[in-house]
Structure 1
Amino acid sequence: MRTFLQLVFGLLVLKAVSASPRFSRQVDYDSYDAVDYNEGEDNFDLNNYDYEEELRVEEAETDAEKPEYNYPEPGEVEKKEEEEEEEELPLKPQLVPQGSGGSGVLMGPDTEKGLPVCLLCTCLGGSVYCDDLKLDSVPPLPKDTTHFYARYNRITKISKSDFANMNKLKKIDLTANEITSIEDRTFMGLPELEELIIRENHISQLPTLPETMTLIDASHNDIGSKGIHKEAFKDMTGLQFLYLTDNNIDYVPVPLPDSLRSLHLQGNNIQMMHEDTFCNLNDFNYIRNALEDIRLDGNPINLSKTPQAYVCLPRIPIGNLI
Structure 2
Amino acid sequence: MLARLVLGLVILDAAMTAPTPEVINYDSETYDAILDDLDNLYNYENIPVRQAEVKRVTMMPSGSREFPTPAPQSEEVLEEEEEEEEEESTPRLIDGSSSQEPEFTGALGPHTDEDFPTCLLCTCISTTVYCDDHELDAIPPLPRNTAYFYSRFNRIKKINRNDFASLNDLKRIDLTSNLISEIDEDAFRKLPQLQELVLRDNKIRQLPELPATLTFIDVSNNRLGRKGIKQEAFKDMYDLRHLYLTDNNLDHIPLPLPENLRALHLQNNNILEMHEDTFCNVKNLTYIRKALEDIRLDGNPINLSRTPQAYMCLPRLPIGSLV
Aligned ranges 1:223-238 → 2 under 5 Å: 223-238=224-239
Which residue of the partner structure matches residue 157 of structure 1? 158
Contact 1:95–1:108 (8 Å) recurs in 2: no
Hey, what's the Cα distance between the residues in 1 that align with 2:223 and 2:168? 30
Give the Å deviation of 1:92.
11
Which residue of the partner structure matches residue 166 of structure 1? 167
Hey, what's the Cα distance between the residues in 1 that align with 2:143 and 2:103? 7
Which residue of the partner structure matches residue 113 of structure 2? 112
Larger Rg, first or second structure (1 or 2) = 1
Give the Å deviation of 1:186.
1.2
Which residue of the partner structure matches residue 51 of structure 1? 24
Superimposed CA distance per residue, residues 209-234 of structure 1 (whole angstroms, 9 cap, x where no aligned partner): 11110000000000011111111111
Which residue of the partner structure matches residue 311 of structure 1? 312
Hey, what's the Cα distance between the residues in 2 that align with 1:257 and 1:276? 14
Hey, what's the Cα distance between the residues in 1 that align with 2:103 and 2:294? 43
Which residue of the partner structure matches residue 140 of structure 1? 141
Task: Give the secondary structure class of the aligned counterpart of 1:160.
Answer: coil
Give the Å deviation of 1:253.
0.5
Which residue of the partner structure matches residue 210 of structure 2? 209
**Higher mean C-alpha deviation, range 126-135 or range 229-238:** 229-238
Letter in 1 for 2:113: E
Superimposed CA distance per residue, residues 78-120 of structure 1 (whole angstroms, 9 cap, x where no aligned partner): xxxxxxxxxxxxx9987579xxxxxx65611112343211111
Which residue of the partner structure matches residue 132 of structure 2? 131
Percent identity for Structure 1 against Structure 2 = 57
> 1:106 and 1:301, CA in 2 relative to 1: closer, same or farther beyond 3 A?
same
Hey, what's the Cα distance between the residues in 2 that align with 1:95 and 1:259? 47
Contact 1:95–1:105 (8 Å) recurs in 2: yes
Matched, 1:292 2:265: no
> 1:300 and 1:274, CA in 2 relative to 1: closer, same or farther beyond 3 A?
same
Task: Show structure 1 runs of 5+ residues with no match.
Answer: 1-48, 59-90, 98-103
Task: Give the secondary structure class of the aligned counterpart of 2:162.
Answer: helix
Which residue of the partner structure matches residue 186 of structure 1? 187
**Higher mean C-alpha deviation, range 138-147 or range 220-229:** 220-229
Task: Give the secondary structure class of the aligned counterpart of 1:308.
Answer: helix
Letter in 2 for 1:191: P
Q: Matched residue pairs, number?
A: 234
Aligned ranges 1:52-91 → 2 under 5 Å: none
> 1:249 and 1:177, CA in 2 relative to 1: closer, same or farther beyond 3 A?
same
Contact 1:121–1:128 (8 Å) recurs in 2: yes
Contact 1:96–1:108 (8 Å) recurs in 2: no
Hey, what's the Cα distance between the residues in 2 that align with 1:142 and 1:241? 28
> 1:95 and 1:265, CA in 2 relative to 1: closer, same or farther beyond 3 A?
farther
Alignment RMSD (CA, Å): 2.3
Matched, 1:240 2:249: no
Hey, what's the Cα distance between the residues in 2 that align with 1:117 and 1:52? 86
Hey, what's the Cα distance between the residues in 2 that align with 1:223 and 1:314? 29
Task: Give the secondary structure class of the aligned counterpart of 2:273.
Answer: coil
Superimposed CA distance per residue, residues 5-40 of structure 1 (whole angstroms, 9 cap, x where no aligned partner): xxxxxxxxxxxxxxxxxxxxxxxxxxxxxxxxxxxx
Contact 1:147–1:172 (8 Å) recurs in 2: yes
Aligned ranges 1:12-27 → 2 under 5 Å: none
Which residue of the partner structure matches residue 70 of structure 1? none
Give the Å deviation of 1:313.
0.4
Letter in 1 for 2:108: M
TM-score in terms of structure 1 length:
0.69
Give the Å deviation of 1:163.
0.2
Task: Give the secondary structure class of the aligned counterpart of 1:225.
Answer: coil
Superimposed CA distance per residue, residues 137-167 of structure 1 (whole angstroms, 9 cap, x where no aligned partner): 0000000000000000000000110000000
TM-score in terms of structure 2 length:
0.69
> 1:54 and 1:92, CA in 2 relative to 1: closer, same or farther beyond 3 A?
farther
Task: Show structure 2 runs of 5+ residues with no match.
Answer: 1-21, 32-93
Which residue of the partner structure matches residue 11 of structure 1? none
Hey, what's the Cα distance between the residues in 2 that align with 1:96 and 1:200? 38
Task: Give the secondary structure class of the aligned counterpart of 2:120.
Answer: helix
